[in-house]
Structure 1
Amino acid sequence: MSKIYIPAWHYRAPGLVQRVWGWSPIEEMSLLTLDTTPGTIDDLASALQIPRQVAASTVARLMQFGLIEVRMSPRPMLSTNTVGREFIRAGRALPERSADREIGISVVYEKVGESVFRNRDVDTIAVTKLPTSGKVVNFPVGEPSETDYSMMQRVTEFMSGMLRPGEWLRGIQANSSYLERKFLVIDLNDMKDGATPPGASEKLIEALKLTIKTGILPVTVPPAVDEPPTIATDIHTDQIVVGASQQLERFEQIVKAAKSHVFILSTFVASQNDDRCKENRDRMWQALDDACRRGVKCHLFFGTSIDVPKHAAAMHELSERLSSIRRTRGYVLAHRDSVDSHAKFLVADDGQGGAIVSMGSCNWLSSPFSAVEVSVELKEANAAGAAMDVLHSIIAKISSAGQSIEALQFIAAELRRNRSRLSASTTPQGAVRTAMRILHASDHNRLLRIAAHDAKTRFICCTNRVGANMVPALFDPAEVAGQRLGEVSIYYSRRGGPVKRGHVTDHRKRLDGVVGIFGVPEPQLHAKFLAWDDDHIVVSSLNWGSQSAALDNPMDEIGLYLQGAGLATILLKKFDGENTRAAKDA
């Protein structure tokens, strides 16, 4: 046995690398000097005791970035301008200088030791050209194929140690990518002589040594079981948004602040002639109109798998409306294929070098903004970046999303790169230090049962609907909690499937004194959340009382589990306030 063939993926794509230059002490001292003592280049050179040539080139760079200006009265002199003075007085970092260059990326990822190689360093062979002789390790049966998204993550990690000082990989241009199954060719005779492919993992080397010793072919590694990582972040009270009009107001504010990109994933899309709560919808459309006029790129998606042609037609109407405002291609990317997810996202840059992600229950492109919704806004770099990664993986399902994927990837990368410079080491005043986990579909039911057993003071759940699985999915866990806690409540507004009013009434009577089951017809509770004790909340797209998580589609439902001092108290206070206000209005 001389050669063996190991399953692998060949990935090729153009990457964008950015080189960033910071500011030298001379440049910073020059800016400070000209702010306090305006003068000429000679004055600056004398004050800092530096050569005149250095002073002149420093002034040229500061002028290039619009930080200093020439005053003509009472005599010509250099001084900081309004922008330069603002940077100094606000304690802000000076604007970085950067330049981009495109590189070609061509790598091979093998499935035994999970090594990533440069394509030029290894031998590969096409699946259709395998020789009749030789030992072949087959691709694992039933395992999902690699995707642009999964390969991007591996390439980013692989490239991190290969770039020049001061450079970082901004992202990969997915529109021009190439991904193909191949086999990595390994000559075991070379391995016996100690020659291994550059970059081979220890796992691959050990597996090949064992094959040489025993003659038994190596096996591919099973896919990793991804446990949602915990992310430390900060949550302000106003980042938990509860209500109907509150969601619309935040939509307007977020879209109005954006300068480059807005991404929206809504389960449904309303037709332009839908008259339900027309005034509210007009405000939403107007916010998007204004964004297009400013040159903001709008990336629009819908997720339902029900009546797809209807929502695709509505998305086309919206695209025609927005495209007519700014007749330049590429500013409106309204996708008419469903991403097959019930998750709801609003993502935008904040116009100040950061980004904001809103996740929760609100169907932005179809909501009449009359139902009670709950959403959480993520602003800190790690939290927002993780949420963008989830949206990235959801929209990657459709072939038309290449430009949107690329833009989202670049924003997330920029956000993370700036994290150390933009974020404080301590929790900002008024914020709650929070442990955050992003929940996929199947994570929800498991966490609800854990909460029902672990809660010590209260257990509250709000679901838009109760349906056929309401008893095992929600009522039974709530009963477990209610047998030892004094406050266990379930709120809902609609019934689904075969469930009639009498069915819910029977369970309400059965659980009387153990679990409070409250039907709230108006205003409709479209919110989906779970809260227990004082510190734990889950804000989600999942209807806890009517839907079962789809194991084959982990991105079908997305939730945020947040644990921080008083977060449940904050959420429930806002929720109770909305219910009280609605009762008074009625």
Structure 2
Amino acid sequence: MNKENTIKYTIAIPFLTNEYTFSISRKTNWSIIDYLFLKELSQREMTVKSLSDFSNLETQVVIQILLPMCNVGWIDIVTSRDSFIFRITEMGEIAYSLSVKEHELICKVDKYQRKREVFVDYFDNYYSVYSFDSLLLTHARYMSEINKNKNIVTLPIDDSNSYPKYTKMYSVMAREHEKIDNVRDEAVYTLTTKKYLLVDMLYIEGRKEGRIIDDNKVKKLNEKLIRQITNTLPAIVKDDNSLLKAPLSKDGNNYEIKVIAKRGDVDFVYGGHNTKAKLIELIQSSTDFLVIHSTFIGKWCIVNDDGYTHLFLEIKEALKRGVQVYILWGKSNAEETDENFEKSDSEDKAVEKKLRDFNESCHQEGMLNVVNYNDFRRTDSHAKFVITNHVDKGLCTMVSSCNFLYAKFERFEASVVVCNDQFTKYFLEIAANICCGKSTFDSKVRKEFRGLSSNIADTPNDVDIPNNEKLELRLVLKHQHHSYIDLAAQAKNKIYIISDFINTSPIRPIFDALKKSEAKKYYYYSKKSSYIDHSEIVEMHDDLKSADSLSQLGAHHSNSHAKVLAWDNNDLLITSLNWLSASAPNNLVEIYHEIGVYVQGWDVAKDFIKVFRSL
């Protein structure tokens, strides 16, 4: 390294960004002085001087107080030969009479729409343009040219974190006295544009951190991002091997949303026949809307030898009641280069025809309301869920291991039904995000799901429930699953992991992570993945037994399709993730590809284990 005392360099901080249209309410708040002035004017007309004498305020301050009330039509200004005279209007009299009891003037609420730009950093923090000292950030297209002229260190950004999180938007996009009522997406709804904040730095030789030259430029940024900026050193220091640039790491948040619910508002459903019965019951009890997301769809779930199946006959009855029914298809379209493309494509087209025929049969019965198939656009998600507004229980969501529109309901399944407004509100946002598949363009169905979600009012989560009736529920996305393996490692007695398939994927993230646990481990699967042979299963079994004498790995005789992690008595995670065959890396790629619900509550794991062991 060049032996200089200081090195000047620049850090380029990337943000994913997009513009959204915000529906906004803005309140005009009045002070007690405004109230007292209007009270005096309700009794007599007054000049600026008389109001100044009354309040002991300078005349210029008096005018500043009166002008906003003039603007809303509460006060008129009458000119006289010597002075301005202020008098109350009819609207002012009404405003004063409404405020007499509380001694506080009613607020004026303005409603308007504004297009504003949203910025998201590496750590998933949200910002408005007013979070930056400089209103103009550098667009990605200009960075290569800037890099030629400056000693720039560019921080990374996770491009896959492109789904907007509206709750976070609401908290940062409102300005003083504003409230965000709603957000409307543009044609491209994802956070796809990349812009950079350029921060000039100074490195003093021998120090462990760089110094930000202009603190005002970053003062509104998240503290963790600021620490990353100061910990990032110029490239020449790294080349000299004296100090390395600090690596970035995500926060250890292991859930997307957390709610507290009464046990009576949560239903655990175990077994294939019980799963079918619950699905039918949700369809029969649906009002307003019904969303069914199934990874796969089979013709046998639509029609049989006698005509339409019980499932689709109940969907038709829901349509007759005016329920808007959506069926989302998760399975990815086969690539043309796939050797099984023709077979897969032919099967999919046959299913599409059966679904279209079903809608046509509805039309033939004189029905205008038919199923919305989202234009058969694939969500590329392995999650399985049902969302509806239940006639008796209100808004509810069913999360399951079961492919509702493919299963014959002969295998053991595990599901959880959550009747909770906030949980359902967030799940509708997920449905909105995944319904577009890999496309970044907004769609009619996505707008409708977002509309359903935004119409659900926010409710407090501080519910006072007795401990034996209280359940804590967390919505777990794909990249958050393996953090629950770390939690399970603290178990005292037993850990159960149930999976449909097995391959070598779980060796490091599961087997190695749990081998030091003092609890007994039970790993069960139904069948091996196609690309692993029996000898590899035997070898994995022997290696696991020698490394962890408290573990037991084997195929379960029940032909289970459930995907469950349960430990001790009170901790249970029901999911779509095949624990012993699927990978769930800690990144934001395909975050909605797998979705589960973690439940902590009295004996929830104990009850599941009892059912499973009885099979």
State the match for 1:571 in structure 2: 608
Counterparts of 2:281 and 2:352 in 1: how far apart (Å)? 25
State the match for 1:233 in structure 2: 260
- Superposed counterparts of 1:169-318, under 5 Å: 169-173=181-185, 175=187, 177=189, 181=193, 201=220, 224-225=250-251, 227-229=253-255, 231-234=258-261, 236=263, 239-271=267-299, 282-305=309-332, 307=334, 309=345, 312-313=348-349, 316-317=352-353
Q: 1:158 to 1:274 in 2, by over 3 A?
A: closer
- Superposed counterparts of 1:40-189, under 5 Å: 103-109=113-119, 115-117=127-129, 122-123=135-136, 140-141=155-156, 143-144=158-159, 147=162, 149-150=164-165, 152-160=166-174, 169-173=181-185, 175=187, 177=189, 181=193
Q: 1:131 to 1:365 in 2, by over 3 A?
A: closer
Q: Which amino acid aligns with 1:568?
A: A
Structure 2 unaligned residues grouped into runs of 5+ = 1-7, 28-93, 95-108, 201-213, 236-244, 335-343
Q: 1:284 to 1:532 in 2, by over 3 A?
A: same
- TM-score normalised per structure 1: 0.64
Counterparts of 1:310 and 1:401 in 2: how far apart (Å)? 28
- TM-score normalised per structure 2: 0.62
Q: Which amino acid aligns with 2:297?
A: V
Pairwise CA distance, 1:203 = 6.2
Q: Does the 8 Å contact 1:264/1:300 carry over to 2? A: yes
Counterparts of 1:241 and 1:263 in 2: how far apart (Å)? 19
Aligned identity (percent) is: 17
Pairwise CA distance, 1:262 = 2.0
| Secondary structure of 1:234 counterpart | strand
| Secondary structure of 2:164 counterpart | helix
Counterparts of 1:475 and 1:178 in 2: how far apart (Å)? 37
- 1:426 alignment partner, one of 453, 464, 468: 464
1:339 matched to 2:402? The reply is: no
* Partner deviation per Cα, 1:226-257 (whole Å, 9 max, x = no partner): 61247242253761110111111111222232
Q: 1:562 to 1:410 in 2, by over 3 A?
A: same
Pairwise CA distance, 1:346 = 1.4
Counterparts of 2:585 and 2:12 in 1: how far apart (Å)? 36
Pairwise CA distance, 1:505 = 11
State the match for 2:50 in structure 1: none
- 2:525 alignment partner, one of 460, 470, 492: 492
Q: Which amino acid aligns with 1:496?
A: S
| Secondary structure of 1:227 counterpart | coil
State the match for 1:460 in structure 2: 496
* Partner deviation per Cα, 1:482-506 (whole Å, 9 max, x = no partner): xx55x65343322323343995599
Q: Does the 8 Å contact 1:436/1:563 carry over to 2? A: yes
Q: 1:371 to 1:537 in 2, by over 3 A?
A: same
Counterparts of 2:258 and 2:293 in 1: how far apart (Å)? 23
Q: Which amino acid aligns with 1:149?
A: P
* Partner deviation per Cα, 1:62-117 (whole Å, 9 max, x = no partner): xxxxxxxxxxxxxxxxxxxxxxxxxxxxxxxxxxxxx9977242225375996412
Which of 321-330 and 440-449 deviates more? Answer: 321-330
Q: 1:507 to 1:251 in 2, by over 3 A?
A: same
Structure with greater proportional helix content: 1
Q: Does the 8 Å contact 1:233/1:435 carry over to 2? A: yes
Counterparts of 2:150 and 2:497 in 1: how far apart (Å)? 56
Root-mean-square deviation (Å): 5.3
Counterparts of 2:16 and 2:528 in 1: how far apart (Å)? 48
Which structure: larger Rg? Answer: 2
* Partner deviation per Cα, 1:123-175 (whole Å, 9 max, x = no partner): 5676667997897979755631663524x4443223445666xx652442455
Q: Which amino acid aligns with 1:525?
A: S
Equivalent residue pairs, number: 479
Q: Does the 8 Å contact 2:571/2:605 carry over to 1? A: yes
Q: 1:311 to 1:201 in 2, by over 3 A?
A: farther
| Secondary structure of 1:346 counterpart | strand
Q: 1:244 to 1:106 in 2, by over 3 A?
A: same
Q: 1:384 to 1:540 in 2, by over 3 A?
A: same
Q: 1:320 to 1:460 in 2, by over 3 A?
A: same
- 2:561 alignment partner, one of 499, 523, 526: 526
- Superposed counterparts of 1:31-42, under 5 Å: none
